[in-house]
Structure 1
Amino acid sequence: MDMLQVEEWAVPRGGIWTDGDGEPLPVREAATGEVIITLATASVAQAEEAARTAARAQRDWAALPPSARAAVLRRASELFAQHSDRITPWIVRESGGTWAKAGTEILAAVSECAEASALPTLPQGDTLATNKQRWSFSRRVPAGVVSVIAPFNYPLTLAIRSVAPALAVGNAVLLKPDPRTTVCGGAVIQRIFDEAGLPAGVLQVLPGGAEIGAAVVSAPEVRIISFTGSTAAGIKVGEAAARQMKRAHLELGGNNAVLVLPGADTAAAAAAGAFASFLHQGQICQAAGRHLVHVSQVEDYLAELARIAKSLMVGDPWRQEGVQIGPVIDERQLAAVEALVDGAVAAGARVHAGGRTDGRAYLPTVLSGVEPGMPVWRDEIFGPVAPVLAYETLDEAVELVNASPYGLSVAVLGDAGTAMSVADRIHSGVVHINEQTVGDEATAPFGGMGTSGNGARFGGPEANFEAFTETQWVTVRPTIETYAVPSGRAPLNG
């Protein structure tokens, strides 16, 4: 299968693939650490110039008829589908994801662009009641320039879900991908939109490190920042945006829970729990890092979860067929996962499956004997690890779920009626009843509470208009209103 040819892709500016003035960026294969391609990166000066170019291009893009913007988004959707067999290998090799996972990213890109293509022709405001002799309207207008900072784990999905709607409603976009997935999370998107007919300068990809991220936040032309990444980095982005009176949409980390209700089908629940913890090596903000199971069923659940974990094929998805668990993104993250598990075992946790590295992968791991104060239970793991804790009452279980400062996604498995009442007590941006924790659709609002983010800013027309437009009040009178002008000199007092 041919990979999309990127050659020496660098900084696309003004519709031209421009040599970057920053340091060379070696793009490494997650499974081997080998350099696939070397890219140039943007300099801070280039990022600042890109913001100015975007501001100029945005005015003409927003002035186009809505049908013209919609056509570009529809064409982009078609192109993602058409070129899927050339884009998918980049996702597999850069992010370390399986072929199945890469396929879901393509489907997400197709769906996000298709859904975004409907935004330009939806109602853009409301007619308001007024006590004066006039018409009064509210309307949605483009914010201007939007900076999108995307992560490595689902690089195409988590970039396009902001890029597509931001473009659709008339903004220009600066896209700063993670350095580890610059091709599938950045260059591919630029290439597709170039071919789809997006005018020059409206979308610009700026490869680079933290200094480029800071530049696309601080550029005065940027009005909105859409950031997906760690809570620690997101707090810094939010602080920088607030100092400049900019809006920041932050989709951050999670330590999500699978809550298995008493009497639930243990085998079905364990299968859901395994999916939630092991999909893409657990490197998902919605991955389940906590499993709460009633004490009467916890041994059966552990046995089944461990059986599934041991049955999963671990390896290099690019070179081996049938791989279900690929590599962790890099050695630093692999060491972090290893340290969390080793620390838990040293503190008394028991390993039922996994518990060690396998080359650049970490084996799917099931732990029992964990305590709420242990880092492996308390912190976001971002690895294929499933800590399991037994509870005795539903009140205790709800308290344990809500004890986390994160609040992104929770799965409640078992009797639907009981689950509904439990869901009413859970503090989380997403609650799935009788499904696992990982899910995302272009039509559904998505976002977290607490340290998982500042609310639903992705998915569906309402969230997208709220995220990427400004609300403007407009009044219209048939003639200029008559205003009384005082005559003579007004007294200074009384």
Structure 2
Amino acid sequence: MRQYPHLYIDGRWTEPIEPREVELIDPTREEAFARVTLGSAADADRAVAAARRAFDSFSTTSVDDRIALIDRVIDVYESYIDDFADLIAREVGIPVSNRAQVTGPAQHMKVARDILREYPFESRVDGAIVRREPIGVCALISPWNWPIQTGVIKLIYALAAGCTVVAKPSINSAASGALLAQVLHEADVPPGVFNLVNGAGRDVGDVLSHHPDVDMISFTGSTAAGKQVGVAAAGTVKRVCLELGGKSANIVLPDADLEQAARWNVQRCFFNAGQSCHAPSRMLVQESQVEQVVPFLVDEARRYRLGDPLESSTTMGPVVSTAQYKSIREHIQSGLDEGANLVTGGLERPDGLERGHFVQPTVFTGVTPDMRIAREEIFGPVLAVLPYRDEDDALRIANDSPYGLGGFVFGGDRERARRVVNGLRAGRVSYNGAATDSYTPMGGYKQSGIGRSMGRFGLEEYLEVKSVYGFEDEAQALPTLFG
């Protein structure tokens, strides 16, 4: 069994003050594969103190120094890509065939580096200088569903800004969090600049949220947990960046390519076994066309090969845990109980899989906006198809949600589609399955979050703004902020 007995604080691996072990359960085999030692409130205090000590010097490093640091991190990370793929397959059931989970982080690091190279930390407004300065010590709390990429996006922009970091990964993905700390250690990140403390949210996460020496907290997770983080952070008026839940809608307009829209929706919704906050888990189809899309949805859903995520032929692994498995099944049962029409999938175990947290790719039609499967984030491979009458009705249904993380539109008439895209209350919207761009901001409206990650907007989350007066001559040499 793998052992992860240490935390990473002040540039070295260290034992917790009050060690407590937990076992990580392989969701495919339903048996322990690793033991991880958790930290406590006292360990979080130690990590924050180390980050605070390191901030004074790291915040004054040059852009060239920070670019060189990021390049070293990229080089070391890329040497561990296969190790990360193997580890997250065992931790959270992500198939090794899902290379985006392990190659994506390196791409985000390169984007952050390139933005840093060109970013104007000083600019001019009239005769004044506007400076962007690192905000300070940043607590980064990341989830298990994108266990490496989410943490990397947070920390790499924090480092690019000149901030110091205390990271807390999800307990479910604590092993890959430890491997990421090893990457940073081998890349010679200065002591105290990056610290890792595993632990429960009620212990470590709560301390970081309240801590007076933490200047910013970046949290990705459920909306319920994000609200608690926001309340805790308010006591010290620290900056909060939250990426929370989603229940994204895909509006399929009548002139869309229905087969393309249906197949893409299944692929995007069931990617990562549906455990993605941007998943288009509501598909809105004009009421006269619902029966036309069903065969495509069913065929695409049945193409998934469920099985051991360590096998290259597997395209869908198990969901992360017993609790997640039970929650998804409860939602499927609610769809049946409330009268939705099950067209594929359901409660039965997939054929040939007698153990493991496997859920069949499941599609419901006949879903109404008041049903649980249309309103709640299921976080599993479950798609709800809702009929709409006209464009206004589609937008009303899509926007009738406490969430606003992602949105999608399929259609032929670009002017009409653009009108619908603009009407969606969501932070990221794609037309006809267009790929997202890691230079662009990611974040949500409403209860899907506060702030943005990625790209220039993501860098600026870690920066304070200072106006400086009296240096008119020096200001003239700077680029204008609004020009």
Question: Once the 2 structures are TM-superposed, how far is the Cα of residue 248 of structure 1 from its aligned partner?
Answer: 0.5
Q: Which residue does 1:481 correspond to in 2?
A: none
Q: 2:424 aligns with which of 423, 426, 449?
A: 426
> What aligned pairs does 1:195-210 form with structure 2 within 5 A after superposition?
195-210=186-201
Q: 1:269 aligns with which of 248, 253, 261?
A: 261
Gaps of 5+ in 1: 131-135, 479-494
> What aligned pairs does 1:66-215 form with structure 2 within 5 A after superposition?
66-101=63-98, 103-121=99-117, 122-130=119-127, 136-184=128-176, 186-210=177-201, 211-215=203-207
- Tell me if structure 2 keeps the 8 A contact 1:440–1:446: no
Q: Which residue does 2:339 correspond to in 1?
A: 348
Amino acid across the alignment from 1:294 = Q
Q: 2:223 aligns with which of 213, 231, 253?
A: 231
Q: Which residue does 1:133 correspond to in 2?
A: none
- Tell me if structure 2 keeps the 8 A contact 1:166–1:468: yes
Does residue 307 (structure 1) correspond to residue 305 (structure 2)? The answer is no
Instruction: State which drifts further: 388-397 or 158-167.
Output: 388-397
Per-residue CA deviation, residues 321-354 of structure 1 (Å, 9 max, x unaligned), is: 4111110111111111111111111121111110
Larger Rg: 1
Amino acid across the alignment from 2:417 = A
Amino acid across the alignment from 1:174 = V
Q: Which secondary structure does the structure 1 equivalent of 2:469 belong to? A: strand
Per-residue CA deviation, residues 241-262 of structure 1 (Å, 9 max, x unaligned), is: 1221111101000000111110
Question: Once the 2 structures are TM-superposed, how far is the Cα of residue 128 of structure 1 from its aligned partner?
Answer: 2.6
> What aligned pairs does 1:257-406 form with structure 2 within 5 A after superposition?
257-318=249-310, 320-358=311-349, 359=355, 360-406=357-403
Q: Which residue does 1:484 correspond to in 2?
A: none
Distance of 1:168 and 1:42 partners within structure 2 = 27
Q: Which residue does 1:12 correspond to in 2?
A: 8
> What aligned pairs does 1:214-253 form with structure 2 within 5 A after superposition?
214-253=206-245
Distance of 2:2 and 2:306 partners within structure 1 = 29
Q: 1:468 aligns with which of 434, 458, 462?
A: 462
Per-residue CA deviation, residues 88-126 of structure 1 (Å, 9 max, x unaligned), is: 10111112111232x212222111221222354421021
Amino acid across the alignment from 1:196 = A
Q: Which secondary structure does the structure 1 equivalent of 2:206 belong to? A: helix
- Number of aligned residue pairs: give it: 463
Question: Once the 2 structures are TM-superposed, how far is the Cα of residue 464 of structure 1 from its aligned partner?
Answer: 2.5
Distance of 1:273 and 1:260 partners within structure 2 = 10
> Under a length normalisation based on structure 1, what TM-score does the superposition of the two structures give?
0.90
Distance of 2:206 and 2:161 partners within structure 1 = 25
Amino acid across the alignment from 2:454 = G
Q: Which secondary structure does the structure 2 equivalent of 1:221 belong to? A: coil
Q: Which secondary structure does the structure 2 equivalent of 1:288 belong to? A: coil
> What aligned pairs does 1:405-484 form with structure 2 within 5 A after superposition?
405-415=402-412, 416-435=414-433, 441-455=437-451, 457-461=452-456, 463-476=457-470
Question: Once the 2 structures are TM-superposed, how far is the Cα of residue 477 of structure 1 from its aligned partner?
Answer: 5.4
Q: Which secondary structure does the structure 2 equivalent of 1:36 belong to? A: strand
Question: Once the 2 structures are TM-superposed, how far is the Cα of residue 25 of structure 1 from its aligned partner?
Answer: 2.0
- Tell me if structure 1 keeps the 8 A contact 2:66–2:160: yes
Amino acid across the alignment from 2:407 = V
Q: Which secondary structure does the structure 1 equivalent of 2:133 belong to? A: strand
Q: Identity across aligned pairs (percent)?
A: 32
Change (3 A) 1:123 1:321: closer
Distance of 1:58 and 1:108 partners within structure 2 = 28
Distance of 1:468 and 1:304 partners within structure 2 = 44
- Tell me if structure 2 keeps the 8 A contact 1:145–1:224: yes
Question: Once the 2 structures are TM-superposed, how far is the Cα of residue 33 of structure 1 from its aligned partner?
Answer: 2.4
- Tell me if structure 2 keeps the 8 A contact 1:148–1:163: yes
Distance of 1:239 and 1:33 partners within structure 2 = 36
> What aligned pairs does 1:46-61 form with structure 2 within 5 A after superposition?
46-61=43-58
- Tell me if structure 2 keeps the 8 A contact 1:119–1:165: no
- Tell me if structure 2 keeps the 8 A contact 1:302–1:388: no
Question: Once the 2 structures are TM-superposed, how far is the Cα of residue 383 of structure 1 from its aligned partner?
Answer: 0.6
- Tell me if structure 1 keeps the 8 A contact 2:2–2:33: no
Question: Once the 2 structures are TM-superposed, how far is the Cα of residue 239 of structure 1 from its aligned partner?
Answer: 1.2
Question: Once the 2 structures are TM-superposed, how far is the Cα of residue 9 of structure 1 from its aligned partner?
Answer: 4.1
- Tell me if structure 1 keeps the 8 A contact 2:408–2:421: no
Amino acid across the alignment from 2:15 = D
Amino acid across the alignment from 1:263 = D
Amino acid across the alignment from 2:46 = E
Per-residue CA deviation, residues 3-44 of structure 1 (Å, 9 max, x unaligned), is: xx9743421111111112242021221212221211211111
Distance of 1:375 and 1:171 partners within structure 2 = 42
> Under a length normalisation based on structure 2, what TM-score does the superposition of the two structures give?
0.92
Change (3 A) 1:477 1:88: closer
- Tell me if structure 2 keeps the 8 A contact 1:9–1:187: no
Instruction: State which drifts further: 216-225 or 113-122.
Output: 113-122
- Tell me if structure 2 keeps the 8 A contact 1:441–1:459: no
Q: Which secondary structure does the structure 1 equivalent of 2:58 belong to? A: helix
Question: Once the 2 structures are TM-superposed, how far is the Cα of residue 469 of structure 1 from its aligned partner?
Answer: 0.9
